[in-house]
A and B are shown apart, each in its own frame.
With several copies, the nearest count.
Chain A
């Protein structure tokens, strides 16, 4: 596979530039969509990890606990991994909060003899430990502590977040594997078409005593270059999409403000294209007898 083969591959690619452009574009579109899927999954993960930062478990305490008993509960909760912050609200503070919420209507409570509200501890959670099951387990554990009357947490919200994350991972994975298979097929059929188109030339070469790999080398190079070209094109497209088109989209959809892109994507795509191209060529070469 010396310079001679490279020269042949390049000049043949130029002669067949239309079909090669079509193939490279097919691959570029495929890689672009894969990249979009990767970006989607990536961003859903980021968003769903940010959301639980504001998410907490509220622990309601029984009435009449001493300060040291509250301390004890505090300590027991803090021992759990995933617990980040603990905020204690006394019975009195709870009442003040309720009064502030009722605003002008606070005379509603003027006749109260006893404060009916319980003291509580708000438990802030570390992002990475917030999953459907782990939060539920933590809540049960805290419920079992002496002095705790009730535990409340956003069970439903958590379920929704979890299902969005799972759904995006499932859909993304499905898309990515389907598209990868489609791309290998594109490279495969591109090279196979090249083979068929050059059937006569290949026949002539074999009659002149060329070995298999002498004939195959330019096809491998061509397949690789087409894949690489497709990858570079899709990198450019993604860059253009993220840095230009995306702003317009974000302007009309405020939800997308948190969108971001791992820069590695830009050089992973040409590499992936190259590999897909070579893989497709190898399959095509291996399957064609001559």
Chain B
């Protein structure tokens, strides 16, 4: 168990009468990079939400870094989440500047303002948005917004990175750049799980690919 970062054991989740996840079991080792795929509405985002405690499973158990998520006390949730970087499918950017959006991850951890600035600028450079630091999300293109979300997710050097369709608004070249960044972070030890439809991302070899369909795990392959 020591080298397992995320593990699902017979997990189900139903919204009303609508089952989104059905009896799923799998595990992802520490420092691995895996992909999650499947048609629209298959339950990919729901699976990620279960990991970052935004949803609770109806049955089954989920382990995150050795902790059973159901056992985490309400007051402990923020500390668990600070270990996780999340690229939300719907961005969830706040109506503040790009800098402030990315800095938020660090300010939440009470990092000193003097240290925040260089780290944020460094990360923005990584996603090619150094020059947009003072813009507001409303004045960015779709792809630029998505890269801000990616910057916000990785700036805190999380031990787990969950990316939900992180390249949906990116052209192939920019998407490849983001994947390079992910691999770098992964090489430094971060466990990464990417939910995506992008076949070109899936073609990159050497990773586990989980395939969901109608809430069930239909395929698990190593490429």
Of the listed stretches B37-45, B79-87, B176-184, chain A binds B79-87
Which residues of the other chain, A, contact B95 by a CB distance below 8 angstroms?
15, 201
B34 within 8 A of partner (CB):
no
The proximity string for B residues 75-110 relative to A, scoring 1 for CB distances below 8 Å and 0 otherwise, is 001111110101010001011100000001101110
Q: Would B109 and A209 count as touching, CB distance under 8 A?
A: yes
Q: Which of B80, B105, B113 contacts A4 (CB 8 A)?
A: B113
CB B51 to nearest CB in A, in angstroms, measures 12
B52 within 8 A of A: yes
B54 adjacent to chain A (CB < 8 Å): yes
Roughly how many angstroms separate A4 CA and B112 CA in the complex, as a whole number? 11
Interface size on B, residues (CB 8 A): 22
Closest to B81 in A: A209
Please tell me if the beta carbons of B92 and A210 are within 8 angstroms of each other in the complex.
no
Q: Is the CB of B81 within 8 A of A205?
A: no
Determine whether the beta carbon of A208 is less than 8 Å from that of B105. yes
Binary contact track B37-73/A, C-beta < 8 Å → 1, others 0: 0000000000000001010000000000000000000
State whether B107 touches A206 (Cβ < 8 A). no
Interface pair A210/B94, CB less than 8 Å apart: no
Q: A200 to B94, alpha carbons, bound, how many Å?
A: 9
Residue in chain A with minimal CB distance to B113: A4
CA distance A203 to B49 in the complex (A): 13
Q: Is the CB of A208 within 8 A of B54?
A: no
Contact, CB under 8 Å: B113 / A208: no
A204 touches B108 (CB 8 A): no
Residue of B nearest to A198 (CB): B94
- Contact among B82, B88, B94, B113 for A209, CB-based, below 8 A: B82
- The docked-state distance in angstroms from the alpha carbon of A200 to that of B90 is 12
Jot down 19 A-B pairs with beta carbons below 8 A, ordered by A.
Answer: A4-B107, A11-B96, A201-B94, A201-B95, A204-B92, A205-B108, A206-B78, A207-B52, A207-B81, A207-B86, A207-B88, A208-B81, A208-B105, A208-B108, A209-B80, A209-B81, A209-B105, A209-B108, A211-B108
- A203-B92, A209-B82, A211-B78 known, 18 other contacts, Cβ within 8 Å: A4-B107, A11-B96, A201-B94, A205-B104, A205-B108, A206-B81, A207-B52, A207-B92, A208-B81, A208-B86, A208-B105, A209-B78, A209-B79, A209-B80, A209-B81, A209-B84, A209-B109, A211-B108
